Structure 1
Amino acid sequence: MSYAIIGFGKIGHALARAFARSGIDVSVATTRDPESFASDAASIGPTIIPRTLADAVMADTIFLAIRFESHPEVAKALPSWKGKTIVDVTNAYGVPPEALGDLPSSKAVARAFPGSRLVKGFNHLPAAVLDQDPAVNGGRRVVFLASDDDGAAAEVGALAGKLGFSPITLGGLSDGGLLVQARGNSWGQLIFKNLVTFD
């Protein structure tokens, strides 16, 4: 299984550090030449591999750590996303619901990536919290996941576990997804909830 993070801002860095802590290879890409952020990637660790966008989208599982408004541009990188799992880490705060066709924000993202299996996740925590070690006082920090594809949710949940998080699946995008979405001027009820589970 191969992984990529599209976007290398604060959230992209936080995700990259999670992969680095776990020693898992992950490609990172932006719309810029990878040489422009190669030293930044190297400072995180040797498992963080700068790539072009065209190369990064060849990964099996792709994290969208970009501004919501940028996802249609990324979606143009492939004619079909069949066989890919997209982890939607975006938030559509400030985007009017009518601009999304009154859909949950992740359903709008899913439409842009035809053929993909989309999982909403890793978006409810601020970058500064997501960036911290998820091991907290003997427990593990929670990440919420929502998807209309149970298999994709299970795979991303297993990866979240390898990254040290405690995944909690909320159901489909039209119900559970609403709990962790931001759109218009509202936040889902679970946005910013910094929870920890203990075994």
Structure 2
Amino acid sequence: MSYAIIGFGKMGQALAKAFARSGMEVSVASTRDPESFASAAAAIGPGVMPKTLTDAVKADTIFLAVRFESHRDVANALRTWRGKTVIDVTNAYGVPPEELGGQPSSKVVGQAFAGARLVKGFNHLVAAVLGQDPAVQGGRRVVFLASDDDGAAAEIAALAENLGFSPIKLGGLSEGGLLVQARGHSWGQLIFKDLVKFN
């Protein structure tokens, strides 16, 4: 299984740190030339590999960590996303609900990534918290996941555990997914909730 993070801003770098801590390789890409962020990637860890967008989207599992407004630009990098799992880390804060056709933002993202299995996740924490070690006082920091594809949700839950987090599945995008999505100028009820699960 190969992994890529598209978007190398604060959220993308926070995700890259999770991979580096776990000793897992991950490709990172943005719309910029890979050389422009190679030193930042190297500072995170040797397994964080700067790539062009064209090369990064060859990965099996892709974290979409760009601004919501940029998701279609990334989606256009492939004709079909069949066989790939896309984790939607975007937040559509400030995007009017009517622009989304009254749908959850992840449904809109899913339509752009035709054929992909889409999971909403890793977006409810600010980057500074997401980038920290998820092992907290004997527990593990929670990440919320929502998907209309149970198999994809289970796969990303397993990945979240490998990255040291404690995943909590919220159900489908139109139900649980709304708890971790922005709508217009309001946030879902679980956005910014920094929770730790103790076994």
TM-score of the aligned structures, taking structure 1 as reference length: 0.99
Number of residue pairs the alignment of both structures matches: 199
1:5 and 1:41 map into 2 onto residues whose CA distance is 12
Q: 5+ residue gaps in structure 1?
A: none
| Counterparts of 2:107 and 2:186, CA distance in 1 | 17
Give the deviation of 1:55 after TM superposition. Answer: 0.3
Q: Which residue of 2 is the match for residue 61 of structure 1?
A: 61
Alignment of 1:71-86 (within 5 A): 71-86=71-86
Deviations 1:162-181 (A, max 9, x none): 00000000000000100000
Partner of 1:22: 22
Aligned to 1:39: 39
SS at match of 2:63: strand
Aligned Cα root-mean-square deviation (Å): 0.4
Identical positions, percent: 78
1:52 deviates by 0.2
Contiguous gaps of at least 5 residues in structure 2 = none
Superposed, which structure 2 residues align to 1:135-154 within 5 Å? 135-154=135-154
State the shift of 1:183 in Å. 2.1
After superposition, the C-alpha distances for 1:122-148 in whole angstroms (9 at most, x for unaligned) are 000011110110000000000000000
Residues 27-46 of structure 1: per-residue CA shift (max 9 Å, x gap): 00001110111111011100
**Alpha-carbon separation, structure 1, partners of 2:50 and 2:38:** 6
Q: Which runs of 4+ in 1 moved over 6 A?
A: none
- The residue identity in structure 1 corresponding to 2:78 is L
Letter in 1 for 2:85: T
TM-score, normalisation: structure 2: 0.99
State the match for 2:92 in structure 1: 92
**Separation in 1, partners of 2:133, 2:19:** 11
User: Secondary structure, in 3 states, of the residue corresponding to 1:24?
Assistant: coil
After superposition, give the CA deviation of every residue in 1:48-84 in whole Å (9 maximum; x if it has no partner): 0000000000000000011000001100000000001
Match of 1:117 in 2: 117
